[in-house]
With several copies, the nearest count.
Chain A
Amino acid sequence: MKKLINHPERVVREALEGLAAAHGDLVRVHFDPDYVYRADAPVQGKVAVISGGGSGHEPMHTGFVGQGMLDAACPGQVFTSPTPDQMVEAAKQVHGGAGVLFIVKNYSGDVMNFEMAAELLEAEGIRTASVIIDDDVAVENSLYTQGRRGVGLTVLAEKIVGAAAEEGYDLEQLKALLERVNANGRSMGMALTSCTVPHVGKPTFELAEDEMEIGIGIHGEPGRQRMKLKPADEVITMLFESVVKDLPFQAGDRCLLFVNGMGGTPEIELYIAYRKAKALADEYGLQVVRSLVGSYITSLEMQGVSLTLLRLDDEMIRLWDRPVKTPGLRWGV
């Protein structure tokens, strides 16, 4: 295992220490339980937006804490959901009297831990609402599974809902908005290489030198299909068609097109992927009015990409463009 770490058990803690040291102007880090929160929290009268999940997907979620996005993020161990006490303590730290919105990715562990946290907070008189993000179209038989996983759309949802919270939306409005974002976004990813979980020490799965995995999850969960490596344009076409047909997106729809790197993908390849995805969107008559290209929701050092398409309305566009000031995403301020 080739990693620039000190010890597999200290990866999450030390990275959080580094985050605190680098971005003390934007965020604070609390340890035991671990959570990252806005330097200016609590913002009185504002709904606190909190997310969290296993670590190893950075910058998501800890890198998205700050003005215009998350009030707090609760990082679990690598690829392991955080525990309810983290969400409970984070919520108490940041809530400004207007309730707490949990953004939860659809993994059984995440859902159960956030659910326990919500129960504990309600018992203490803090109002909560939760929305589960499940945008991964790779999961086809979702009736017979935990359902679709939460992947790339989570980044866009946190930005849009974070901006709305900053504008003063109340808990019900935010929940409705978040459900609308979730209903209008779809994603799918692929991997060229596996990642290696630090405490495991070897690759989660093996891919031959000429193979790739289509429909991979963000924890190295196997995807729809393992197949021979193909040219980028063919790979992107497979992802795009699965995504676009699912909603389905319609000619004329205004969209945000998000090409995401899985952590070990060079940026030059992301733009090759974007080029093809944009050409396909044009073919389908979609209007790509906003874009995001970069490694925002990752799987450690995995090489690969995911595509996310979000159908936008005027409100979402306005909120997307609002200022955001976090370690991982920043503009307008």
Chain B
Amino acid sequence: MVISKEAVLAWIRAFAAAVEQHKEYLTELDAALGDADHGANMHRGLQAVLDRLNGVADRDIGTILRTVGMTLVSSVGGASGPLYGTFFLRAGTAAGTKMELTADDWLQMLEAGIRGIVDRGKARRGEKTMLDALGPGLDTLKASLQEGQPLNEALRRSAEAAREGMEATIPMLATKGRASYLGERSVGHQDPGATSAYLLLQTAAETWTAGA
């Protein structure tokens, strides 16, 4: 099984739709921990992405994802703009001029994207950020593929691990981003960025395993 360029486009659209659907929820989570704008930020950014997506739909996957990244960088703002922007820029660079992706391509793109988030935001796992959903998602993808699981199953497990990682942010103490100002009061709330990051991997799994 490979992931076609069309599937990549479908994933981005599905991510945008999921964020639209959960916009209020993401903002509510951010109201408890930050400044109540994560839903609005991501939604604004992804709407801008949708506007530009058709214009690059004929190009290679690297170009498509770098366009997504640049668009997010220049339309989201806040912390999540440069972070998600860098994620897609790096993932796109890793994808290069490919027109379809193997399981291993996706693993390397995800790894590069997450490394971009770390470079930009200087956070580590366990600090109650999007990394706490993405990190487990990456680990599980890698382990599943190494175990020899088919891509379908690896994607499902990866999304499931991201969900668990997202939920695991609830008891965490935030030490990065706005939530860190809450100190002890950050405990008991789910991180909004980890939540949107789960949606990112969940829509990938859902889109790419549909009908499989």
Whole-angstrom distance between the Cβ of A30 and the nearest chain B Cβ: 14
Task: Report how far A110 CA is from B177 CA in the complex, Å.
Answer: 11
Q: How far is the CB of B44 from chain A (nearest CB, A)?
A: 7
A200 at interface, CB cutoff 8 A: yes
Judge whether A188 is part of the interface by a CB distance below 8 angstroms. no
The answer to whether B9 has its CB under 8 Å from any CB of chain A is: no
B62 CB within 8 Å of chain A:
no
Task: Give B129's nearest chain A residue, CB to CB.
Answer: A108
What residues of chain A lie closer than 8 Å to B79, measured between beta carbons? Answer: 81, 107-109, 112
Least CB distance, A162 to chain B, in whole angstroms: 24
Are the CB atoms of A109 and B175 closer together than 8 Å? no
Q: For residue A107, which residues in chain B have a CB less than 8 angstroms away from its CB?
A: 79, 178
Cross-chain contact A112 with B31 (CB below 8 angstroms): no
Contacts of A79 in B (CB 8 A): 35-37
Interface centre among A76, A77, A82, A83 (most CB of B within 10 A): A83
Interchain CA distance A221-B79 in the complex, whole Å: 15
**CB-CB < 8 A to B185: which residues of A?**
222
User: When the two chains form their complex, are residues A84 and B181 in contact, meaning their CB atoms are under 8 A apart?
Assistant: no
How near does chain A come to B189, taking the closest CB pair, in angstroms? Answer: 11
Q: With a CB–CB cut-off of 8 A, which chain B residues contact A54? A: 77-78
User: Hey, what's the 0/1 contact readout for A127-151 against B, CB within 8 Å counting as 1?
Assistant: 0000000000011010011100100
In the complex, are the beta carbons of A83 and B76 less than 8 A apart? yes
Whether B77 lies near A204 (C-beta < 8 A) is: no
- Whole-angstrom distance from the CB of A193 to the nearest CB of chain B? 16
Question: CB within 8 Å of A: which of B67-97?
Answer: 73-83, 85
Question: Any chain A CB within 8 A of the CB of B27?
Answer: yes
Contact of B77 among A109, A141, A219 (CB under 8 A): A109
Name B23's closest neighbour in chain A (CB-CB).
A199
* Proximity string of chain B (167-200) to chain A, C-beta cutoff 8 Å, 1 when within and 0 when not: 0000001011110111101000000000000000
Answer yes or no: A304 CB below 8 A from chain B CBs: no
CB < 8 Å: which of B40, B83, B175 contacts A144? B175
When the two chains form their complex, are residues B77 and A83 in contact, meaning their CB atoms are under 8 A apart? yes
Closest to A139 in B: B181
Assuming the A-B contacts A80-B37, A84-B74, A200-B37, are A116 and B180 also in contact, with contact meaning beta carbons closer than 8 angstroms in the complex? Answer: no
Interface size class of A (residues with CB under 8 A): 35 or more
Cross-chain contact B177 with A146 (CB below 8 angstroms)? yes
Docked-complex contact A81 and B81, CB < 8 angstroms = yes
**Residue contact A80 to B77, C-beta cutoff 8 Å:** yes
Chain A, residue nearest B41 (CB): A80
Complex formed: what's the CA distance from A309 to B176 in Å? 27
The CB with the most chain B CB atoms within 10 A, among A33, A107, A109, A141, is that of A109
Q: Check B36–A77 contact: CB distance below 8 A.
A: no
Is residue B124 within 8 Å, beta carbon to beta carbon, of the partner chain? no
A residues near B27, Cβ cutoff 8 Å: 200
Assess whether B126 is interfacial by the CB under 8 Å rule: no
Per the bound structure, the CA–CA distance linking A141 and B81 in Å amounts to: 26
State which of B44, B81, B173, B182 has its C-beta within 8 Å of the C-beta of A113.
Answer: B81
A112 touches B121 (CB 8 A): yes
Q: Is A185 an interface residue (CB 8 A)?
A: no
A85 part of interface (Cβ distance < 8 Å): yes
Contacts of B40 in A (CB 8 A): 77, 80, 199-200
B34 interface residue per 8 A CB criterion: yes
**Structural contact, B181 and A77, CB atoms closer than 8 A:** no
Cross-chain contact A113 with B121 (CB below 8 angstroms): no
Does A197 contact B180, Cβ atoms closer than 8 Å? no
Q: CB of B59 within 8 A of chain A?
A: no
Residues of B within 8 A of A115 (CB): 82, 120
Interface status of A220 (Cβ within 8 A of chain B): yes
A189 within 8 A of B: no
Given A116-B82, A146-B178, A222-B181, the answer on whether A85 and B36 have CB atoms closer than 8 Å is: no
Query: What are 5 A-B residue pairs whose CB atoms fall within 8 Å in the complex?
Result: A54-B78, A108-B121, A116-B120, A145-B175, A197-B35
Q: B: which residues have CB within 8 A of A?
A: 27, 31, 34-37, 40-41, 44, 73-83, 85, 120-121, 173, 175-178, 180-183, 185
A83-B73, A220-B35, A221-B182 known, 18 other contacts, Cβ within 8 Å? A77-B40, A77-B41, A80-B76, A80-B77, A83-B75, A83-B76, A83-B77, A84-B74, A108-B176, A109-B79, A112-B82, A116-B85, A138-B181, A146-B181, A197-B35, A204-B35, A205-B31, A219-B178
Q: 9 tightest A-B contacts by CB?
A: A145-B180, A112-B82, A109-B79, A109-B78, A219-B35, A85-B74, A80-B77, A76-B77, A108-B79
